[in-house]
Structures are given as C-alpha cells and as structure tokens.
Amino acid sequence: MALNLHSKKLIFILGGLLLSCSSDDSDDSGSSNTIANYESASDVITSLTGDVKSSYDAAPETYTFTRDNASTVSYTGQTFRQVLIEDLKTYIETLEQGTYQGSSDDALASLNSYVSYSYDNSSVASGAINGSSSFSVTAKDTSETSIAIAEGTTYAVIQDPGSNLLGKFAGNDNEELPRDSFLGWTTLEFNGQDLSSLDIDSSGDGKVEPEDLLGAWLRIIADQAVDGQAFTVANGDQPAQSVTAAYLTESGLDLRQLVQKFIHGAVSFSQATDDYLSVTRGDEKGILADNSGPAKADVVYTAREHHWDEAFGYFGAARDFLSYTDDQTKNKLSIDTDNSGSIALLSEKNFGISVNAAKRDSGSTTGLDLSSTIMNSFVKGRHLIAEKPEGYETAVTALATMIRIDWEKVLAATVIHYINDTISEMDQYGSSEYLFTDHAKFWSEMKGFALGLQFSPEKILSDEQFTQLHTLFGDAPVLGSAGSDALATYKTSLLEARALLQSAYAFDASDVENW
C-alpha cells in the first residue's frame, strides 16, 4: 500500500489501540502513517476476542437495531439531504439557455431553495421549493418497474421542518477545513464574480470557502437560464454540435455534475468522516459522544448511536445493502424489503456514494469490494455501540477508521473512472462518436469528485499531492478546438494524475485501467 496520512497528530488511545487522527495543521510527511492507521485498525478487528468478538460476530446482516421493541436508528435529516442533492441536479437539468421566466435573481433563488431549504420558503420564483412542494426522487424495483415512494410525495412528509445543505458545508458546521483553506480551484474570478468576495455564508472572514464556489456555479446557471443563448461546438470536420442546456458552458463545464459531485464531498463525505465518525471533536460530536442513555428526553437512541447513524445516512445505503448485487445498486434499483408495494426512502433506497462504491466494485478486475466492506463496518460498529461489551470502544474506533479511508478510496477510484472516460471522449474528437456534452459531463464529474478529496480528515493525499492533482486537471477541460497538440499534452497530464492516484491509494493497475 502507498497510503498517506500527514498532519500534526492528535494521538487517540482506546483500550491499547493507537490511531493517528488528523488535525488542521499539515506537515506533508509522507505515506507511512495512513498505512499504519488502516493496518492497525484492520489488525484490531481480526484480533478481537471474548465478548467483543462474540458481539461483533453476532451483528445482523441489515442496519436494523431496536431497544424495547422500538427502532433506535435515526438519520432522517441525512436522507432528506440526499433527496435535496438528487432533486437539485434534476431541477438543473430542466433549465435551458434563455428560457427561464423571471429574472436572474429569481432563477438563482429557485436553485438556492434546494441548497438553503426552508419548509416555509415564501419565494414566488418559478421553480423554488418549500415543504409543500413535491420531490422528484423516484424508485424502481428489481424488475426495473416504477414503484411508489412509501413516505408520500412532498418534502414535508420526509422530514418536517426539514434540513438544509448550506449549514452542513465543510467549514460551516465545524468552522474549519481539514486543510485550513479551500483548495483545488484556482480561477477566483469568472463570470463577473470574485470568489474571494462572495461570502455566501455571510461570515465576513474574506476567505474563499466551498459554498462560495457552489454559489458562483449556481449564478452561472441562473444567468444562462435567463439570458443565455444556445451555442455550437466544433467537432473537427464533423458537423458542429448545438448546445441548449443552461448548465453547460462554452468552456466545457457541466455545472449540473460539478454541483452534485462537489456537494457529495463538501457535505456528505465531510460530515460523515470529519464529524460523525470523528475522534477529535470532543465528547459532543463523533464516536466519543455519550453512550450511557437516551440522547434527549424524547428519543430511545444514545448520542453515540445517533452519530453513527448519521454517518451511515450520508453513505446513503439501504438498510439491507448487503442483499443487493452491484448491478442492482449501480442501476439504482430498490428491493421492496417489507413487501409493502412501495419503497421507503429512509430504509429501502440507495443514494449517493453507496451507488458509486458499487459501480467501482463492478468495474474491478481484482474482486475489490469497497461497498460491502464499508457496509459491514457500519453494521458491525453500530451493533457494538448498541451492545456495549466491555472494551468495545477499541473495535468501534478501528471500524470508523476503516470507513473513513475506504470511503475516500471510493471517491478516488471514481475520479480515476472519469479520468478514463474523459480521455476516451477526447480520443473521439473529430469523429461521429464524439459528444461535447459527454466530454463536459465526464470532466466535470472527475473534477467535482476530486475536489471532495480535500475534505478527508485522513488526508491520504498530502497538500502537495492534492495541489498537483488539480494543477494537472485545471479548472476546465481542454477541448478539441485547442488543437491536437493541446489535446495530447492534456491527455498526458490526465494520465499523470491517474498515476498519482493509483500510487497514493494503492489501487491495482488492472482496476485503474478498467474503471
């Protein structure tokens, strides 16, 4: 393995297990620390004995836990945010250049109604949502037949009053970023906007933060939806291609994909790994929270159980995820576990990164199984937290470490997948097979997921490696109109970026080629 953990260390010791957990200060110290971190955690699990091993082995196959005949599982807010992320992407896809009926500010308000969701949002902007609006997420059963959503049709039936995305962006909830500052996007001024002065969260600190980049992207979509015009893109000697979507730019950005993939990193990945599975946030957050009794008067779960559940909710898996084949998950099919004739968003649908994990497993030639590994760690860790055999904390800490690193590997493997797709599309330029829309899509998914790697508390990529990766990517794809030499040079850069990721995450060369 060539994994890397660098930083000023906070050493956390539980029951004899030594784990190095990142703080904010980076020293770019190389790869050995994360190797030791993951291998130490794995060794703890394989060396379990006594009551802890018995409890670990007795964990259920599904993420189902009860006490006094009542479920102790609760992550409604995380499922709600998964729905918002999917629905924002779906809404963006409806916007065409120059067709929105309203002002640019109205169009932006409609987009922000997903990011800053409010149950009682009173905006009259076309497309804006509130609690009474119908959500767009749908479900298909394993026969690929559309099936009803068990909760109903409106946002309020999922959660009342609901949760928002903006408050959970990296650097907002925990007030600091794992790498001190936001990295990976060097173009600070574009579309008439200066990222350093946007201050989307009204903090007044003058720093470029993740939500500022999101806000700039949404403003471009809004402006193009109101005032944009369809444009054409050259394809060598082939006919030019017409582009009408408001989320596509002439520079080759697919803002729909950048927005969605970036949120998966800046909210879901950040919240799960740097908050709810953390051992550096004191006893109010993460897995050091109280586990002696109900977290508050009206619930049956403990704070520690709830934090673990919330991390699981951000992973996005159905509670019987281990019953799914990779093909079922990657094709977004759902198992009607309770035979109710409907799919429950809170328990029977796969969202977000859980789907990407299955996709990378499906594309592996070496039997890689990140999806099952992560799910097993979640289920067994939650069972140990519920049962509390003496000394269980050591095993839970080890499982949290493994989840954090395996989740990051899913992101990195997905970046490699889209590097490959981008190169493939570049190679098609000038032929009837080339599609500008696919070129923009693949590059933007690559970039969006890669930006999320900076939110890892493990920092498998050093700051230097992370900066190098994004220098190789740039802030926009190189299009065919730049000429064959520019395409060849950029292809070399993408292959160098792929090699960097392969080495840092210790991926097998055959998987890297096949993803």
Q: What's the pLDDT at 25?
A: 41
- Phi, psi dihedral angles at 65 (to 5 degrees): -140, 135
Which candidate, 149, 40, 57, places its Cα nearest to that of 394? Answer: 40
Mean model confidence pLDDT for the chain: 92
CA 476 to chain centre: 21
If residue 333 lies in a helix (H) or strand (E), which one and from where to where?
Answer: strand 333-334
Residue 169 near residue 356, CB atoms below 8 Å: no
Q: Average of pLDDT values for 61-70?
A: 96
Q: Which alpha helices (DSSP H) does 242-391 contain, by range?
A: 255-263, 270-271, 303-315, 326-330, 352-362, 370-387
Question: Which is higher by pLDDT, 391 or 180?
Answer: 391
pLDDT in tens, 437-447: 999 999 999 99
Distance CA 204, CA 226 (A): 29
Which candidate, 290, 272, 294, 268, places its Cα nearest to that of 72? Answer: 294
Q: How distant, in Å, are the alpha carbons of 325, 354, 511 from that of 331?
A: 10, 12, 20
Question: Which is higher by pLDDT, 26 or 366?
Answer: 366
Token pair listed for 265 = 């990193």
Question: Which is higher by pLDDT, 285 or 356?
Answer: 356
Q: What's the pLDDT at 229?
A: 98
Cβ count within 10 A of residue 323: 12
The most distant pair of C-alpha atoms in the chain lies apart, rounded to whole Å, by: 71
Q: Is the pLDDT of residue 298 over 60?
A: yes
Q: What's the pLDDT at 27?
A: 45
Q: How distant, in Å, are the alpha carbons of 112, 113, 438 from that of 88?
A: 9, 9, 20
Residue 156 near residue 132, CB atoms below 8 Å: yes
Q: Average of pLDDT values for 68-89?
A: 98
CA 442 to chain centre: 16
DSSP-derived secondary structure letter, 170: T
DSSP-derived secondary structure letter, 293: S
Distance CA 371, CA 178 (A): 25
Distance CA 400, CA 421 (A): 32
Cβ count within 10 A of residue 231: 16
β-strand partners of 71: 66
Residue 454: pLDDT band by 50, 70, 90 thresholds? very high
Q: Average of pLDDT values for 378-384?
A: 98
Q: What's the pLDDT at 387?
A: 98
Which candidate, 436, 433, 430, places its Cα nearest to that of 477? Answer: 436
Question: Hey, is 181 helix, strand or coil?
Answer: coil
Residue 265: pLDDT band by 50, 70, 90 thresholds? very high
Opening angle at CA 236, ends 232 and 238, nearest 5 = 75
Q: Average of pLDDT values for 306-332?
A: 98
How close are the terminal C-alpha atoms of the chain, in Å? 19
If residue 232 lies in a helix (H) or strand (E), which one and from where to where?
Answer: strand 231-235
Cβ count within 10 A of residue 45: 18
- Phi, psi dihedral angles at 194 (to 5 degrees): -115, 110
Which candidate, 166, 250, 170, 269, places its Cα nearest to that of 215? Answer: 166
pLDDT in tens, 184-243: 999 988 888 888 888 776 676 778 899 999 999 999 999 999 999 999 999 999 999 999
Q: What's the pLDDT at 190?
A: 82
Q: What's the pLDDT at 292?
A: 96
Q: Is the pLDDT of residue 18 over 70?
A: no
Q: What's the pLDDT at 35?
A: 59
Distance CA 313, CA 458 (A): 20
Distance CA 125, CA 110 (A): 6
Q: Average of pLDDT values for 384-399?
A: 98
Distance CA 252, CA 204 (A): 32
Q: Is the pLDDT of residue 16 over 60?
A: no
Q: What's the pLDDT at 6?
A: 28
Looking at the chain, the whole-number percentage of residues with pLDDT higher than 90 is: 85
DSSP-derived secondary structure letter, 125: S
Q: What's the pLDDT at 400?
A: 97
Question: Which is higher by pLDDT, 485 or 28?
Answer: 485
Q: Average of pLDDT values for 401-421?
A: 98
DSSP code per residue over 423-439: HHHHHTTTSTT--HHHH
Q: Is the pLDDT of residue 33 over 70?
A: no
Residue 390 near residue 486, CB atoms below 8 Å: no
Q: What's the pLDDT at 13?
A: 32
Q: Average of pLDDT values for 268-272?
A: 98
Q: What's the pLDDT at 34?
A: 64
The Cβ-side half-sphere exposure at 304, using a 13 Å CA radius, reads 23
Q: Is the pLDDT of residue 7 over 80?
A: no
- Phi, psi dihedral angles at 126 (to 5 degrees): -60, 130
Amino acid identity at 153: T
